[in-house]
Amino acid sequence: MKKLIVLALILTLGYSCKSEKKEVIESVQTESEVYASFGDKITVNNAISALEMGEQYKNLETGDTLLTKVSATIKEVCSSKGCWMKLDLGGDKEVMVKFKDYGFFMPLDAKGDVIINGKAFVSEVSVDELQHYAEDAGQTKEEIAAIIVPEKTFSFEANGVLLKQ
Protein backbone atom coordinates (compact mmCIF):
# COMPACT_ATOMS: atom_id res chain seq x y z
CA MET A 1 0.00 0.00 0.00
CA LYS A 2 2.85 2.39 0.87
CA LYS A 3 4.43 1.73 -2.51
CA LEU A 4 1.18 2.60 -4.24
CA ILE A 5 0.89 5.88 -2.32
CA VAL A 6 4.53 6.79 -3.06
CA LEU A 7 4.00 5.99 -6.74
CA ALA A 8 0.85 8.14 -6.85
CA LEU A 9 2.71 11.03 -5.20
CA ILE A 10 5.58 10.77 -7.66
CA LEU A 11 3.22 10.72 -10.63
CA THR A 12 1.25 13.67 -9.26
CA LEU A 13 4.42 15.66 -8.62
CA GLY A 14 5.78 14.85 -12.07
CA TYR A 15 2.55 15.87 -13.76
CA SER A 16 2.25 19.10 -11.79
CA CYS A 17 5.84 20.09 -12.61
CA LYS A 18 5.20 19.67 -16.32
CA SER A 19 4.62 23.19 -17.56
CA GLU A 20 3.49 23.67 -21.08
CA LYS A 21 3.74 27.30 -21.95
CA LYS A 22 0.98 28.61 -24.13
CA GLU A 23 2.29 31.45 -26.21
CA VAL A 24 0.06 34.47 -26.35
CA ILE A 25 0.70 36.19 -29.63
CA GLU A 26 0.11 39.90 -29.68
CA SER A 27 0.08 41.99 -32.79
CA VAL A 28 1.63 45.35 -33.53
CA GLN A 29 0.23 47.54 -36.28
CA THR A 30 2.01 50.35 -38.06
CA GLU A 31 0.37 52.65 -40.59
CA SER A 32 0.60 50.05 -43.36
CA GLU A 33 1.79 46.75 -41.83
CA VAL A 34 0.80 44.25 -39.13
CA TYR A 35 3.32 42.24 -37.11
CA ALA A 36 2.95 39.35 -34.66
CA SER A 37 4.99 40.13 -31.55
CA PHE A 38 7.10 37.59 -29.64
CA GLY A 39 9.14 38.15 -26.47
CA ASP A 40 9.66 41.70 -25.23
CA LYS A 41 7.57 44.41 -26.86
CA ILE A 42 9.61 46.18 -29.52
CA THR A 43 8.85 48.71 -32.25
CA VAL A 44 9.69 48.76 -35.93
CA ASN A 45 11.57 52.06 -35.57
CA ASN A 46 15.34 52.33 -36.08
CA ALA A 47 15.95 48.81 -37.41
CA ILE A 48 19.00 48.47 -39.66
CA SER A 49 18.86 46.36 -42.81
CA ALA A 50 20.22 42.83 -43.08
CA LEU A 51 22.96 44.07 -45.42
CA GLU A 52 24.03 46.71 -42.88
CA MET A 53 24.12 44.04 -40.17
CA GLY A 54 26.28 41.85 -42.40
CA GLU A 55 28.77 44.72 -42.62
CA GLN A 56 28.66 45.21 -38.82
CA TYR A 57 29.51 41.53 -38.30
CA LYS A 58 32.70 41.98 -40.35
CA ASN A 59 34.01 44.26 -37.58
CA LEU A 60 33.13 41.93 -34.68
CA GLU A 61 35.56 39.46 -33.13
CA THR A 62 34.63 36.40 -31.07
CA GLY A 63 33.46 37.76 -27.72
CA ASP A 64 32.37 41.20 -28.99
CA THR A 65 28.72 42.19 -28.51
CA LEU A 66 26.63 44.79 -30.32
CA LEU A 67 23.15 45.87 -29.14
CA THR A 68 21.02 46.43 -32.22
CA LYS A 69 17.71 46.02 -34.03
CA VAL A 70 17.70 44.34 -37.45
CA SER A 71 15.18 43.85 -40.24
CA ALA A 72 15.77 40.64 -42.21
CA THR A 73 14.14 37.68 -43.96
CA ILE A 74 13.74 34.24 -42.39
CA LYS A 75 15.68 31.46 -44.13
CA GLU A 76 14.85 28.65 -41.70
CA VAL A 77 13.13 27.98 -38.36
CA CYS A 78 13.74 25.07 -35.98
CA SER A 79 11.26 22.44 -37.15
CA SER A 80 11.16 20.82 -33.73
CA LYS A 81 10.05 23.67 -31.42
CA GLY A 82 10.72 26.98 -33.16
CA CYS A 83 13.57 27.56 -30.68
CA TRP A 84 15.92 29.17 -33.24
CA MET A 85 15.84 30.70 -36.68
CA LYS A 86 18.31 31.64 -39.38
CA LEU A 87 18.03 34.97 -41.14
CA ASP A 88 19.43 36.01 -44.51
CA LEU A 89 22.08 38.75 -44.36
CA GLY A 90 22.64 38.89 -48.11
CA GLY A 91 25.30 37.21 -50.19
CA ASP A 92 25.94 33.82 -48.66
CA LYS A 93 25.76 35.18 -45.12
CA GLU A 94 23.21 34.27 -42.50
CA VAL A 95 22.75 34.83 -38.77
CA MET A 96 21.67 32.21 -36.22
CA VAL A 97 19.08 33.72 -33.89
CA LYS A 98 18.23 32.24 -30.50
CA PHE A 99 15.79 33.68 -28.02
CA LYS A 100 16.78 35.20 -24.68
CA ASP A 101 16.50 32.78 -21.77
CA TYR A 102 14.66 30.33 -24.05
CA GLY A 103 11.73 32.59 -23.15
CA PHE A 104 9.75 32.39 -26.40
CA PHE A 105 9.66 30.50 -29.68
CA MET A 106 8.72 31.24 -33.26
CA PRO A 107 5.91 29.45 -35.09
CA LEU A 108 7.28 26.35 -36.86
CA ASP A 109 5.95 27.64 -40.18
CA ALA A 110 7.26 31.19 -39.74
CA LYS A 111 8.51 32.76 -42.96
CA GLY A 112 8.93 36.17 -44.44
CA ASP A 113 10.27 39.35 -42.87
CA VAL A 114 11.08 39.90 -39.20
CA ILE A 115 12.51 42.62 -37.01
CA ILE A 116 14.70 41.35 -34.18
CA ASN A 117 16.04 43.28 -31.21
CA GLY A 118 18.90 42.18 -28.99
CA LYS A 119 22.61 41.30 -29.00
CA ALA A 120 24.65 40.51 -32.10
CA PHE A 121 27.90 38.60 -31.64
CA VAL A 122 30.30 36.22 -33.36
CA SER A 123 30.61 32.76 -31.84
CA GLU A 124 32.24 29.43 -32.50
CA VAL A 125 29.72 26.60 -32.74
CA SER A 126 30.82 23.11 -31.70
CA VAL A 127 30.39 20.04 -33.92
CA ASP A 128 27.80 18.62 -31.47
CA GLU A 129 25.72 21.79 -31.61
CA LEU A 130 25.97 21.98 -35.43
CA GLN A 131 24.82 18.37 -35.65
CA HIS A 132 21.92 19.14 -33.29
CA TYR A 133 20.82 22.05 -35.50
CA ALA A 134 21.08 19.84 -38.58
CA GLU A 135 18.89 17.23 -36.88
CA ASP A 136 16.34 19.93 -35.93
CA ALA A 137 16.35 21.09 -39.55
CA GLY A 138 15.48 17.56 -40.73
CA GLN A 139 18.75 16.75 -42.47
CA THR A 140 19.63 13.12 -43.21
CA LYS A 141 21.90 11.02 -40.98
CA GLU A 142 24.58 11.18 -43.69
CA GLU A 143 24.43 14.99 -43.82
CA ILE A 144 24.63 15.16 -40.03
CA ALA A 145 27.59 12.74 -39.90
CA ALA A 146 29.42 14.87 -42.48
CA ILE A 147 29.60 17.76 -39.98
CA ILE A 148 33.05 17.31 -38.43
CA VAL A 149 34.50 20.83 -38.04
CA PRO A 150 33.36 23.61 -35.67
CA GLU A 151 32.55 26.89 -37.37
CA LYS A 152 32.48 30.57 -36.57
CA THR A 153 29.02 31.96 -37.02
CA PHE A 154 27.17 35.20 -36.82
CA SER A 155 24.88 34.88 -33.81
CA PHE A 156 22.09 36.91 -32.29
CA GLU A 157 20.26 36.67 -28.98
CA ALA A 158 16.85 38.24 -29.52
CA ASN A 159 14.80 39.58 -26.64
CA GLY A 160 11.95 40.58 -28.97
CA VAL A 161 10.79 39.69 -32.48
CA LEU A 162 8.20 41.17 -34.81
CA LEU A 163 7.02 38.81 -37.56
CA LYS A 164 5.43 40.59 -40.52
CA GLN A 165 1.94 39.25 -41.26
Whether this prediction's pTM lies above 0.75 is answered by no
The CATH number for 149's domain is 2.40.50
Residue 49 sits in which domain range?
28-164
Neighbours of 78 (CB within 10 A): 19
In a domain, 3, yes or no: no
In a domain, 6, yes or no: no
Residue 137 pLDDT class (50, 70, 90 cuts): confident
Question: How does pLDDT run across 103-115, given as a tens digit for each residue?
Answer: 999 999 999 999 9
Structurally, the chain folds into a number of domains equal to: 1
Average pLDDT over every residue of 142-152 = 94
In a domain, 19, yes or no: no
Residue 4 pLDDT class (50, 70, 90 cuts): low
Question: How does pLDDT run across 75-86, given as a tens digit for each residue?
Answer: 999 999 999 999
In a domain, 20, yes or no: no
Residues 6+ apart with CB under 8 A from 61: 122
In a domain, 14, yes or no: no
> What percent of the chain has pLDDT above 90?
72
